Structure 1
Amino acid sequence: MSQFVYETHSQSGILLNANENPWNLPDSIRQEIKDALDTIAFNRYPDDSYQELCEAYSQIVNIPASQILAGNGSDQHLGFLIGTFLGKGKNLLTLSLDFGMYDYYASSYDAGIIKYPVDPFSKMDVDDFIHFMQDQDPDMVLFSNPNNPTGNFLGLTEIQRICDAASCPVVVDEAYIEFAQGSALSLLDRCDHLYVTRTLSKAYGLAGVRIGFLLSSQANMDALRPSHVPYAVNSISAKIGAIVLKHADLFDEQIENIKKERDRFAMLSLQRCRIKPSQANFILIQTPAIQALTQAFKENGLTIREYKGKDYCRVTIGTPEENQIVKDVLISFDKEEQ
């Protein structure tokens, strides 16, 4: 099995390593959640259809609830799809820079892993990727869009070209889609082997609740649903998710503020650091002196995502106050002698 360390919060200080929403739920929503606890039958198993939750998400994405499967975070759906379509002797095609859990799940099912090499500071060449995919003839294609950790984003035309050229399931992990423009969901009716995963952990501030969704065509969902693990979401999480989605408009301002703060980082004029423009809620920072930079972050109480042996790190967009600390560290670091 591949070696993989999940991003945890055993660290202290300002946590900018897991791409979470920096704000807790609004007081009004939290009160509604508290009131709803009295309606839950704790002695009963959850409604395994998660009708209320899926219908609430259906209103957000404009996809019929029958084409939505709820689960314990999008991670569960990724593992489910890999377990369904892959196994010993079969191969997953993903990117050389992408979410590490893809490797974990593929390895756990004894599947091979093929990596398409990408430059973290360049846009992916879709033509070259398609040629690579066709040469490798994988059993599944899986990538995040926007990409974690680069923040790169493929548009609908590019994703459709990949789907049209693929002879296997194509899974698009849209964990950060709320911070970009355009979703592959609009392609579900045109691409019969396309699957999309979503999460409420990022834009909707529910990382602690663990709710994700799998969406595909009606035919695909009808085929997958009988094999999905029952009771994947507990009753409390399902109720919380439905309540939050009912107030989805309250998160629009937060999302816009995160995007504005993110884009301000890309405008910083630095000599020792290179900041990658991003379409997600994080930025990638590259410098030859990466160890010195990450040490400076630590000394200022910032926990960020480091990559062993790489010359870059990933920093989540936090509150304006937290972002200012990051900027101050970068500016101070930039003034130091090389």
Structure 2
Amino acid sequence: MVRIRTDLATFAPYVPGKQPEDGNWIKLNTNEASECPPGALAALNALGPEGLFRYPDPTAMPLRRDLAGLYGLTPDRVVVGNGSDEILSLLLRAVCDPGAEVLAPDPAYSLYPVLAAAQGASYRAIACLDDFALDLESLCAARPAITFITSPNNPAGTSYPAGQIARICASGHNLVVVDEAYAEFAESNALGLLREFPNLAIARTFSKAYGLAGARVGYLLGPAELCQTLLAIKDAYNISAAAQAAAQAALRDRDWAEAMWESVRSRRSRLIAGLSSIPGLEPHPSQANFVLVDCGPHSAPWLLEQLAAQKILVRHLGHVRGAENALRITVGKDSEIERLLGELSAICHAC
């Protein structure tokens, strides 16, 4: 019998959103984009056979150069990963000795405690204040190996000002990682702090803002010495040639990307307004490509089931603090939002 680490005996894995097997669903549960860059599709079509039978660039250097140019950095301050999830895992491997503390607000991305447990680290969550505000005093007083701040917050959609991130960095933390998976949809970000704080890194992804969730490409912007360590411990050839080509093409498709981001913001406003008009529902302000809506007198699990019966998928995160009776809804296409609002209105009015 294979011996498994004893600390993994009660390991609770990350539970992803449902992925339906047929295409007849309205899928608003995993915060994917509803389209992808035309340039990325063209790049995949032009890849050629060598993109399959040759190994890809092992460090994705051409893509790292493009990202460095976009953000005014040098390539040695950029690491590309198999989705930003791999970046988060590499960071824990790089800075966490067994038993080291991983810190995050609560709520936050639910993968953090999973990755901490897999690394043999301890995980501590500091409860957010009202309206999902950061408890800055408690966060700044802690001394963890690594601190994750999801901004915009997942699942709340709350974006945290750069001044708050700066305060945490200045308080003496070893490493502060701002997880900006949804930052392109927000009004602010922490990019301007990278030159000021040597203990700050920013994780981003092509999944949401560039419509490449299926390609699995994420990246880190951070101190050169940290990035070189991540490159040393990452898996070999971790980003396929197809994914690298698609990501580079997506960066070149800047006009398309910016138009898509603006469209998401506009549709997000319509979604919030529509949810607010339904009796009992209270959507939270959002700076992401999703909206968290408190279901009030209605049961969120029951609404989830009623929508699923109409082949509409949304997400209930009942284990997440502050979202026990809430649904997280991706900002979909106009037609999808209209259908969702119509079904929700009918269900709630029938109660």
TM-score scaled to structure 1, two decimals?
Answer: 0.91
Q: How many percent identity over aligned positions?
A: 26
Distance 2:33 2:202 in 1: 21
- Provide the residue aligned with 1:53 in structure 2: 63
- Provide the residue aligned with 2:171 in structure 1: 165
Distance 2:326 2:223 in 1: 38
- Provide the residue aligned with 2:333 in structure 1: 319
Provide structure 1 residue ranges, at least 5 long, that are not aligned to the other structure: none
AA in 1 matched with 2:150: S
The answer (yes or no) to whether the contact 1:2–1:103 under 8 Å persists in 2 is no
Distance 1:266 1:89 in 2: 42
Give the superposition deviation at 1:291: 2.8
Over 3 Å counting, the alpha-carbon distance change for 1:163 and 1:31 in structure 2 is same
Distance 1:180 1:86 in 2: 30
Give the superposition deviation at 1:136: 3.8
Moved more, 150-159 or 110-119: 110-119
> Which residue, out of 297, 315, 318, partners 1:305?
315
Give the superposition deviation at 1:278: 0.3
- Provide the residue aligned with 1:330 in structure 2: 344
AA in 2 matched with 1:271: P
Give the superposition deviation at 1:77: 0.5
Distance 1:223 1:188 in 2: 18
AA in 2 matched with 1:31: A
The answer (yes or no) to whether the contact 1:130–1:165 under 8 Å persists in 2 is no
Distance 2:21 2:105 in 1: 28
Over 3 Å counting, the alpha-carbon distance change for 1:4 and 1:206 in structure 2 is same
Structure 2 residue matching 1:197: 3-state secondary structure: strand
Distance 1:237 1:334 in 2: 43
Confirm or deny that 1:130 pairs with 2:136: yes
> Which residue, out of 27, 34, 37, partners 1:22?
34
Give the superposition deviation at 1:88: 2.2
Provide structure 2 residue ranges, at least 5 long, that are not aligned to the other structure: 1-10
AA in 2 matched with 1:33: L
1:288-303 equivalence runs, <5 A: 288-289=297-298, 290-303=300-313
The answer (yes or no) to whether the contact 1:23–1:319 under 8 Å persists in 2 is no
- Provide the residue aligned with 1:33 in structure 2: 44
Confirm or deny that 1:255 pairs with 2:252: no
AA in 2 matched with 1:113: Y
> Which residue, out of 146, 150, 154, partners 2:156?
150
Distance 1:135 1:187 in 2: 20
Give the superposition deviation at 1:177: 0.6
Confirm or deny that 1:44 pairs with 2:54: yes
> Which residue, out of 266, 271, 283, partners 2:291?
283
Over 3 Å counting, the alpha-carbon distance change for 1:135 and 1:161 in structure 2 is closer
- Count of residue correspondences: 331
TM-score scaled to structure 2, two decimals?
Answer: 0.88
Moved more, 231-240 or 4-13: 4-13
Distance 2:302 2:102 in 1: 36
Structure 2 residue matching 1:205: 3-state secondary structure: coil
AA in 1 matched with 2:137: H
Distance 2:193 2:350 in 1: 49
1:70-149 equivalence runs, <5 A: 70-118=80-128, 122-125=131-134, 129-149=135-155
The answer (yes or no) to whether the contact 1:133–1:166 under 8 Å persists in 2 is no
- Provide the residue aligned with 2:7 in structure 1: none
The answer (yes or no) to whether the contact 2:31–2:289 under 8 Å persists in 1 is yes
